[in-house]
Amino acid sequence: MITFPKAKINIGLRITEKREDGFHNIETLFCPVPLCDALEFVISDNQKKADKLTVTGIETGGKPEDNIILKAVRKLRENYKFPKLKIHLHKAIPVGAGLGGGSSDAAYILKGINRCNRLNIDNDALKAIALELGSDCPFFIDSLPSFATGRGEILIPCEKKVLENYYLVILNPGIGVNTKEAYQNCHPAAPSETLSSVIEDTSPEKWREKIINDFEEYVFGKHAIIGTLKEELYRAGAIFSLMSGSGSSVYGIFRSKKNIPDKLAEYVIWQGFI
């Protein structure tokens, strides 16, 4: 089976409080985008050996056996039986980029194994398994625009097609941002109004005044180029720009198809209409 795990962007990201379990509660809107990895798996010829993962494309920076995909397979095997697998990942979503690439890979392998082996695991149960792998993993089970609270696992579908007919440009500076470190340097605070009310009541033209990412202050201070890319997107005519997740990717929303300035071209990893 071959599948294409999607990336996501965050429209707004507020860190509302630190929890007693050490995690943080957040408020965000997850939106899937067409930037994808390619993930293929087949039944292994040797069922006596462990599952095997090979990786091509963008460097993941770790050993295949430590990849979240194999962690997802091992987690699923705790309660379900299915044949040993040979898995190949072609990585196109940058690592440590705030685009959820690893979480998406994990969610899509769970979905793929469930489907191919007729395990009959419903989506709620898949999301519970996914949450053990990462806070944004459950979102990728459905991969539908969703408001997220809690750790990111409490999901409410967004009925409004917020990016329809807008042109999206995603930039990445080639820097990996450590999510744990970003959380350690944030300052939780409850927002004065909910993100859902802002998005439902306004268009992207008004978001610059109301929607923020709480990680930007710390990340821009450590990696000035990321803040510069956001400024350059506004100079290029974006009606809204924000860092996605804990970084390092930045996106810009435009009213129509945009010819990106040459000085930004090297950073473009995806652009188009959603």
Task: Tell me the catalytic residues.
Answer: 8, 136
CB 16 within 8 A of CB 25: yes
CB 189 within 8 A of CB 63: no
Rounded to whole angstroms, how far apart are CA atoms 202 and 194? Answer: 12
| Helix ranges, the chain (H) | 68-77, 101-116, 123-131, 139-142, 179-184, 195-201, 216-222, 224-235, 262-265
CB 57 within 8 A of CB 5: no
CB 230 within 8 A of CB 253: no
Give the tokens for residue 71: 């962690």
For residue 143, give the amino acid letter: S
CA distances 170 to 130, 167, 268, Å, are 26, 10, 6
Rounded to whole angstroms, how far apart are CA atoms 18 and 52? Answer: 37
CB 104 within 8 A of CB 34: no
CB 146 within 8 A of CB 156: yes
CB 218 within 8 A of CB 177: no
Rounded to whole angstroms, how far apart are CA atoms 259 and 170? Answer: 13
Residue in 28, 34, 32, 60 with CA at minimum distance from that of residue 215: 28
